Amino acid sequence: MSIALKTPEEIEKMRIAGRLAGEVLDYVEPFVKPGVTTAELDRLCQDYMENVQGCVAAPLNYAPPGYPPYPKAICASVNHQVCHGVPNDRPLKKGDIVNLDITVIKDGWHGDTSRMFVVGNDASILAKRLCAITLECLWLGIGQVRPGAHLGDIGAAIQRHAESHGFSVVREFCGHGIGQHFHEEPQVLHYGKPHTGIVLQAGMTFTIEPMINAGKAAISELADGWTIVTKDRSLSAQWEHTLLVMPGGVEVLTLSAGCPPKPATLP
């Protein structure tokens, strides 16, 4: 496993890309309301990335082995869609929950983040609870990141919290190293055992992006070759940040002015 440790100069470029990714979500948030389509949100985000930020949308035409080229600039996963939802012309309804996943490329470096939105701020108690617990899972995972810790510590913290609230963790998709490539080593599982896996070192950059289901963990893929849904059609939520392992702990690279902070319920 070859993991690229970033130099101070490279880290500064990743800070810029990360902040810009977060700012796309800040920009689009006021548009996430009943009646808007995810295709329109995609268009707004792409225009902002290209014409305001001078960025490239990393997902557009992204085609890893075995996949067709991804046709849009962002991923938009609604309700029981787990991840990689392809924006379409279905209007969002009051009470929907939607994950918008943004990855920008700025000067050759990637910033990757996603956020949950409650459409019309009127979702069910279960939906709001799922979104809140998933955000807590993300930050509990982030809290494990420091030199000398193990990747398994991150997954264990996320799994423990999700399952203690009666939710399940999707296992087929995980966080990933990131830098000049969209996906690098290491893979960051959202389940696992403490004190297992590789040891974290200063200069590593990767995402944590737990996908938490209200029902069972099983998933399936839609015919578009991209969209992943819960097999039992239960709700799913996801939050994501890009992280940098610092000598004294962790830096969240995708924080922005409008980003929800670490929940006050956490230590």
Domain ranges of the chain: 8-252
Q: How far apart are CA 27 and CA 24, in angstroms?
A: 5
For residue 267, CA distances in Å to 41, 136, 160 come to 35, 11, 15
Q: CA of 191: how far to CAs of 83, 130, 160, in Å? A: 17, 17, 8
Per run of 10 residues, the mean pLDDT along the chain (length 267 residues) is 92 98 98 98 98 98 94 98 98 98 98 97 94 98 98 98 98 98 97 97 98 98 96 98 97 97 92
Q: Cβ contacts of residue 159 below 8 Å, gap of 6+?
A: 169, 190, 191, 192
Amino acid present at 48: Y
H helix and E strand count, the chain: 4, 15
- Considering the four listed CATH numbers 3.90.230.10, 3.40.50.720, 3.40.50.410, 3.20.20.140, the one that applies to the domain covering 8-252 is 3.90.230.10
Residue 246 has what pLDDT?
98
Two tokens, residue 150: 């193990």
Taking the model in full, what pTM does it have?
0.96
Q: What is the pLDDT of residues 164-206, one digit of tens each?
A: 999 999 999 999 999 999 999 999 999 999 999 999 999 999 9
